[in-house]
Amino acid sequence: MESKTIITFIKAAELGSFSRTANVLGYSQAAVTVQIKQLEDELGTRLFDRMGKGIQLTSSGERFLPYAQQVLKVNEQARKFMKLDDELHGTIRIGTTSSMANAYFPTLLREFSETYPQIKLVLKTSDYFDNVYEKLKQNEIDFALFIDRKMVYKDCNTVVDHPEEMIFIASPDNPLASRKDIPIQDIVSNGFITSDQEVSYPRFLDDYCKDNGIEYEPIMEVSSVIAISEIVASSNCVSFVPKSSIIRDLEQGRVVILDADKSFKCRMYSQIVYRREKWIEPHLEIFMEFVRSKIRKIDNTEEPADIQQ
Protein backbone atom coordinates (compact mmCIF):
# COMPACT_ATOMS: atom_id res chain seq x y z
CA MET A 1 0.00 0.00 0.00
CA GLU A 2 1.27 3.42 -0.95
CA SER A 3 1.90 6.29 1.46
CA LYS A 4 -0.36 8.61 -0.50
CA THR A 5 -3.23 6.13 -0.11
CA ILE A 6 -2.65 5.92 3.64
CA ILE A 7 -2.61 9.72 3.86
CA THR A 8 -5.87 9.92 1.92
CA PHE A 9 -7.50 7.35 4.25
CA ILE A 10 -6.38 9.19 7.41
CA LYS A 11 -7.53 12.56 6.07
CA ALA A 12 -10.91 11.15 4.99
CA ALA A 13 -11.42 9.63 8.45
CA GLU A 14 -10.58 13.03 9.96
CA LEU A 15 -12.85 15.11 7.69
CA GLY A 16 -15.72 12.65 7.19
CA SER A 17 -16.06 13.63 3.54
CA PHE A 18 -14.42 12.51 0.29
CA SER A 19 -15.05 15.89 -1.36
CA ARG A 20 -13.39 17.86 1.47
CA THR A 21 -10.51 15.37 1.50
CA ALA A 22 -10.06 15.94 -2.23
CA ASN A 23 -9.98 19.73 -1.74
CA VAL A 24 -7.43 19.54 1.08
CA LEU A 25 -5.10 17.11 -0.70
CA GLY A 26 -5.48 18.64 -4.15
CA TYR A 27 -7.08 15.58 -5.76
CA SER A 28 -10.31 15.15 -7.66
CA GLN A 29 -13.09 13.49 -5.69
CA ALA A 30 -12.95 10.59 -8.13
CA ALA A 31 -9.24 10.08 -7.37
CA VAL A 32 -9.97 9.95 -3.62
CA THR A 33 -12.74 7.41 -4.19
CA VAL A 34 -10.43 5.25 -6.32
CA GLN A 35 -7.66 5.33 -3.70
CA ILE A 36 -10.02 4.29 -0.88
CA LYS A 37 -11.50 1.50 -3.07
CA GLN A 38 -7.97 0.21 -3.85
CA LEU A 39 -7.11 0.22 -0.14
CA GLU A 40 -10.32 -1.60 0.76
CA ASP A 41 -9.64 -4.22 -1.95
CA GLU A 42 -6.07 -4.67 -0.67
CA LEU A 43 -7.25 -5.13 2.92
CA GLY A 44 -10.27 -7.21 1.94
CA THR A 45 -12.69 -5.16 4.02
CA ARG A 46 -14.89 -2.08 3.85
CA LEU A 47 -13.38 0.92 5.62
CA PHE A 48 -16.12 3.54 5.23
CA ASP A 49 -19.89 3.57 5.23
CA ARG A 50 -21.19 6.00 2.60
CA MET A 51 -23.98 8.02 4.20
CA GLY A 52 -25.35 10.54 1.71
CA LYS A 53 -22.65 13.14 1.14
CA GLY A 54 -20.80 12.08 4.27
CA ILE A 55 -18.75 9.05 5.22
CA GLN A 56 -18.13 7.24 8.50
CA LEU A 57 -15.56 4.67 9.51
CA THR A 58 -16.75 1.12 9.76
CA SER A 59 -15.60 -0.98 12.70
CA SER A 60 -12.87 -2.36 10.40
CA GLY A 61 -11.91 1.20 9.48
CA GLU A 62 -11.68 2.16 13.16
CA ARG A 63 -9.41 -0.82 13.86
CA PHE A 64 -7.22 -0.02 10.85
CA LEU A 65 -6.83 3.72 11.62
CA PRO A 66 -4.13 3.43 14.35
CA TYR A 67 -2.18 1.02 12.13
CA ALA A 68 -2.41 3.48 9.24
CA GLN A 69 -1.14 6.26 11.47
CA GLN A 70 1.72 4.06 12.61
CA VAL A 71 2.61 3.13 9.01
CA LEU A 72 2.68 6.80 8.07
CA LYS A 73 4.88 7.61 11.06
CA VAL A 74 7.33 4.84 10.22
CA ASN A 75 7.48 5.95 6.58
CA GLU A 76 8.25 9.52 7.67
CA GLN A 77 10.96 8.32 10.04
CA ALA A 78 12.49 6.25 7.24
CA ARG A 79 12.53 9.27 4.90
CA LYS A 80 14.17 11.42 7.57
CA PHE A 81 16.72 8.72 8.29
CA MET A 82 17.63 8.31 4.61
CA LYS A 83 17.88 12.07 4.13
CA LEU A 84 20.17 12.36 7.15
CA ASP A 85 22.22 9.42 5.91
CA ASP A 86 22.58 11.03 2.48
CA GLU A 87 23.60 14.32 4.05
CA LEU A 88 26.40 12.69 6.00
CA HIS A 89 27.85 10.62 3.17
CA GLY A 90 29.17 11.21 -0.29
CA THR A 91 32.14 12.57 -2.21
CA ILE A 92 32.70 16.21 -3.15
CA ARG A 93 35.07 16.84 -6.06
CA ILE A 94 36.56 20.33 -6.20
CA GLY A 95 38.70 21.70 -8.99
CA THR A 96 40.85 24.75 -8.39
CA THR A 97 43.88 26.66 -9.61
CA SER A 98 47.16 26.19 -7.78
CA SER A 99 47.06 29.74 -6.38
CA MET A 100 43.71 29.10 -4.70
CA ALA A 101 44.95 25.78 -3.34
CA ASN A 102 47.50 27.78 -1.37
CA ALA A 103 45.08 30.44 -0.06
CA TYR A 104 42.59 30.22 2.82
CA PHE A 105 40.80 27.38 1.06
CA PRO A 106 42.84 24.52 2.63
CA THR A 107 41.81 25.75 6.08
CA LEU A 108 38.18 25.81 4.99
CA LEU A 109 38.45 22.24 3.66
CA ARG A 110 40.07 21.05 6.89
CA GLU A 111 37.30 22.61 8.97
CA PHE A 112 34.65 21.04 6.72
CA SER A 113 36.25 17.58 7.04
CA GLU A 114 36.38 17.93 10.82
CA THR A 115 32.70 18.91 10.89
CA TYR A 116 31.55 16.26 8.39
CA PRO A 117 34.10 13.41 8.61
CA GLN A 118 31.91 11.00 6.62
CA ILE A 119 31.95 13.23 3.54
CA LYS A 120 35.01 12.65 1.37
CA LEU A 121 36.70 15.65 -0.26
CA VAL A 122 38.71 15.34 -3.47
CA LEU A 123 40.77 18.39 -4.48
CA LYS A 124 42.08 18.54 -8.05
CA THR A 125 44.44 21.39 -8.94
CA SER A 126 45.59 22.86 -12.22
CA ASP A 127 47.65 25.88 -13.20
CA TYR A 128 45.02 26.82 -15.77
CA PHE A 129 41.41 27.78 -15.11
CA ASP A 130 40.41 26.55 -18.59
CA ASN A 131 41.39 23.03 -17.49
CA VAL A 132 39.32 23.37 -14.32
CA TYR A 133 36.33 24.71 -16.23
CA GLU A 134 36.54 21.87 -18.76
CA LYS A 135 36.46 19.34 -15.92
CA LEU A 136 33.38 21.11 -14.57
CA LYS A 137 31.63 20.87 -17.94
CA GLN A 138 32.49 17.17 -18.19
CA ASN A 139 31.14 16.56 -14.65
CA GLU A 140 34.57 15.38 -13.50
CA ILE A 141 34.29 17.85 -10.61
CA ASP A 142 31.31 19.22 -8.68
CA PHE A 143 32.64 22.72 -8.00
CA ALA A 144 35.24 25.00 -9.58
CA LEU A 145 37.16 27.46 -7.40
CA PHE A 146 39.21 30.25 -8.99
CA ILE A 147 40.28 33.90 -8.83
CA ASP A 148 39.09 36.22 -11.56
CA ARG A 149 37.15 39.39 -12.17
CA LYS A 150 33.58 38.97 -11.00
CA MET A 151 32.10 36.71 -13.64
CA VAL A 152 28.60 35.58 -14.56
CA TYR A 153 28.60 32.29 -16.41
CA LYS A 154 25.41 31.50 -18.30
CA ASP A 155 25.80 27.78 -17.66
CA CYS A 156 26.88 28.05 -14.00
CA ASN A 157 25.53 29.14 -10.63
CA THR A 158 27.77 30.97 -8.16
CA VAL A 159 28.11 29.72 -4.59
CA VAL A 160 30.28 32.62 -3.36
CA ASP A 161 32.32 35.49 -4.79
CA HIS A 162 34.72 36.90 -2.20
CA PRO A 163 36.86 40.01 -2.90
CA GLU A 164 40.58 39.21 -3.12
CA GLU A 165 43.24 41.77 -2.21
CA MET A 166 45.90 41.81 -4.91
CA ILE A 167 49.36 42.96 -3.83
CA PHE A 168 52.86 43.63 -5.15
CA ILE A 169 55.46 41.84 -3.02
CA ALA A 170 59.22 42.05 -2.46
CA SER A 171 61.73 40.87 0.12
CA PRO A 172 62.24 43.18 3.13
CA ASP A 173 65.77 43.90 1.82
CA ASN A 174 64.58 45.02 -1.61
CA PRO A 175 65.21 48.79 -2.10
CA LEU A 176 61.58 49.17 -3.17
CA ALA A 177 60.39 47.98 0.25
CA SER A 178 61.14 51.35 1.88
CA ARG A 179 59.57 53.50 -0.83
CA LYS A 180 56.08 55.03 -0.84
CA ASP A 181 53.57 55.34 -3.68
CA ILE A 182 55.86 53.48 -6.07
CA PRO A 183 55.10 53.97 -9.78
CA ILE A 184 54.05 50.75 -11.48
CA GLN A 185 56.82 51.29 -14.05
CA ASP A 186 59.43 51.04 -11.27
CA ILE A 187 57.88 47.86 -9.88
CA VAL A 188 57.52 45.89 -13.11
CA SER A 189 61.01 46.85 -14.34
CA ASN A 190 62.69 45.59 -11.17
CA GLY A 191 63.22 41.85 -11.80
CA PHE A 192 59.52 41.14 -12.13
CA ILE A 193 58.17 37.58 -11.83
CA THR A 194 54.72 36.92 -13.26
CA SER A 195 52.30 34.11 -12.65
CA ASP A 196 51.24 32.07 -15.64
CA GLN A 197 49.67 34.34 -18.26
CA GLU A 198 46.67 32.00 -18.45
CA VAL A 199 45.70 33.27 -14.99
CA SER A 200 43.45 36.34 -14.83
CA TYR A 201 45.43 38.78 -12.69
CA PRO A 202 48.73 38.56 -14.64
CA ARG A 203 46.72 39.26 -17.80
CA PHE A 204 45.14 42.24 -16.06
CA LEU A 205 48.59 43.66 -15.19
CA ASP A 206 49.84 43.02 -18.71
CA ASP A 207 46.83 44.86 -20.20
CA TYR A 208 47.26 47.72 -17.71
CA CYS A 209 50.88 48.21 -18.70
CA LYS A 210 50.05 48.14 -22.42
CA ASP A 211 47.21 50.65 -21.97
CA ASN A 212 49.45 53.01 -19.97
CA GLY A 213 52.57 52.76 -22.12
CA ILE A 214 54.55 50.99 -19.39
CA GLU A 215 57.42 48.79 -20.47
CA TYR A 216 56.72 45.35 -19.05
CA GLU A 217 59.13 42.46 -19.60
CA PRO A 218 58.97 39.86 -16.78
CA ILE A 219 62.20 37.98 -16.24
CA MET A 220 60.40 34.82 -15.16
CA GLU A 221 56.97 33.14 -15.45
CA VAL A 222 56.08 30.77 -12.60
CA SER A 223 52.73 29.00 -12.21
CA SER A 224 52.96 28.37 -8.44
CA VAL A 225 52.28 31.34 -6.16
CA ILE A 226 54.15 29.61 -3.32
CA ALA A 227 57.18 29.20 -5.58
CA ILE A 228 56.95 32.87 -6.57
CA SER A 229 56.88 33.94 -2.92
CA GLU A 230 59.89 31.73 -2.18
CA ILE A 231 61.90 33.24 -5.03
CA VAL A 232 60.93 36.80 -4.08
CA ALA A 233 61.86 36.21 -0.42
CA SER A 234 65.38 35.17 -1.38
CA SER A 235 66.12 37.71 -4.11
CA ASN A 236 65.54 41.26 -5.30
CA CYS A 237 62.71 40.14 -7.56
CA VAL A 238 59.12 41.41 -7.17
CA SER A 239 55.74 40.00 -8.13
CA PHE A 240 51.95 40.52 -8.12
CA VAL A 241 49.85 37.93 -6.26
CA PRO A 242 46.65 37.40 -4.23
CA LYS A 243 47.37 38.32 -0.62
CA SER A 244 45.45 35.31 0.73
CA SER A 245 47.83 32.95 -1.10
CA ILE A 246 50.93 34.07 0.82
CA ILE A 247 49.57 35.00 4.26
CA ARG A 248 52.10 32.80 6.05
CA ASP A 249 55.12 34.39 4.32
CA LEU A 250 53.74 37.86 5.09
CA GLU A 251 53.19 37.00 8.76
CA GLN A 252 56.71 35.60 9.02
CA GLY A 253 58.14 38.72 7.40
CA ARG A 254 59.75 36.80 4.57
CA VAL A 255 58.06 39.09 2.04
CA VAL A 256 56.47 42.53 2.37
CA ILE A 257 53.72 44.40 0.55
CA LEU A 258 54.98 47.21 -1.66
CA ASP A 259 53.29 50.60 -1.40
CA ALA A 260 52.28 50.82 -5.06
CA ASP A 261 50.85 53.81 -6.91
CA LYS A 262 47.30 54.25 -5.55
CA SER A 263 45.94 54.90 -9.03
CA PHE A 264 46.56 51.25 -9.89
CA LYS A 265 43.38 49.35 -9.14
CA CYS A 266 42.77 45.64 -9.64
CA ARG A 267 39.75 43.97 -8.09
CA MET A 268 39.60 40.20 -8.24
CA TYR A 269 37.24 37.71 -6.59
CA SER A 270 37.56 34.19 -5.27
CA GLN A 271 34.63 32.42 -6.87
CA ILE A 272 33.07 29.00 -6.46
CA VAL A 273 30.69 27.87 -9.20
CA TYR A 274 28.85 24.72 -10.28
CA ARG A 275 27.04 23.71 -13.45
CA ARG A 276 23.51 25.09 -13.58
CA GLU A 277 21.96 21.77 -14.61
CA LYS A 278 23.79 19.73 -11.95
CA TRP A 279 21.67 17.78 -9.50
CA ILE A 280 22.62 19.07 -6.04
CA GLU A 281 22.57 16.16 -3.62
CA PRO A 282 22.21 16.82 0.13
CA HIS A 283 25.94 16.55 0.89
CA LEU A 284 26.71 19.08 -1.87
CA GLU A 285 24.11 21.46 -0.44
CA ILE A 286 25.71 21.09 3.00
CA PHE A 287 29.09 22.01 1.51
CA MET A 288 27.67 25.11 -0.18
CA GLU A 289 26.02 26.33 3.02
CA PHE A 290 29.22 25.65 4.98
CA VAL A 291 31.31 27.69 2.52
CA ARG A 292 28.80 30.55 2.48
CA SER A 293 28.78 30.63 6.28
CA LYS A 294 32.58 30.69 6.51
CA ILE A 295 32.91 33.41 3.86
CA ARG A 296 30.33 35.53 5.70
CA LYS A 297 32.42 35.20 8.87
CA ILE A 298 35.55 36.23 6.96
CA ASP A 299 33.72 39.25 5.55
CA ASN A 300 32.46 40.24 9.01
CA THR A 301 35.78 39.83 10.84
CA GLU A 302 38.19 41.27 8.30
CA GLU A 303 39.16 44.87 8.88
CA PRO A 304 38.48 47.11 5.90
CA ALA A 305 41.43 46.61 3.61
CA ASP A 306 43.10 49.19 1.40
CA ILE A 307 42.39 46.99 -1.57
CA GLN A 308 43.96 47.94 -4.87
CA GLN A 309 40.72 47.86 -6.82
Percentage of residues in the chain with pLDDT exceeding 90? 55
Give mean pLDDT, residues 72-81. Answer: 76
Tens of pLDDT along 95-132? Answer: 987 666 556 677 888 899 999 998 999 988 876 777 88
What pLDDT does 309 receive? 34
CATH of the structural domain 164-266, one choice from 3.30.70.260, 3.30.2350.10, 3.40.190.290, 3.10.20.30: 3.40.190.290
What pLDDT does 180 receive? 96
pTM for the full model? 0.63
User: For residue 64, is pLDDT > 90?
Assistant: yes
| SS3 category, 153 | coil
Where do you find CATH 3.40.190.290 in the chain?
Answer: 164-266
Look at residues 243, 305, 287 and name the one whose alpha carbon lies nearest to residue 112. Answer: 287
Say how many C-beta atoms besides its own lie within 10 A of residue 53's C-beta: 10
What's the topology of domain 1-81? Arc Repressor Mutant, subunit A (1.10.10)
Its CATH class, for the domain covering 88-162+267-297, is alpha beta
Tens of pLDDT along 191-220? Answer: 999 987 667 888 899 999 999 999 999 999
Where do you find CATH 3.40.190.10 in the chain?
Answer: 88-162+267-297
Alpha-carbon distances, residue 140 vs 52, 94, 242, 289 (angstroms): 62, 9, 27, 22
Tens of pLDDT along 239-294? Answer: 999 998 888 899 999 999 999 999 999 988 888 999 988 888 888 999 999 998 88
Where do you find CATH 1.10.10.10 in the chain?
Answer: 1-81
Give mean pLDDT, residues 66-86. Answer: 76
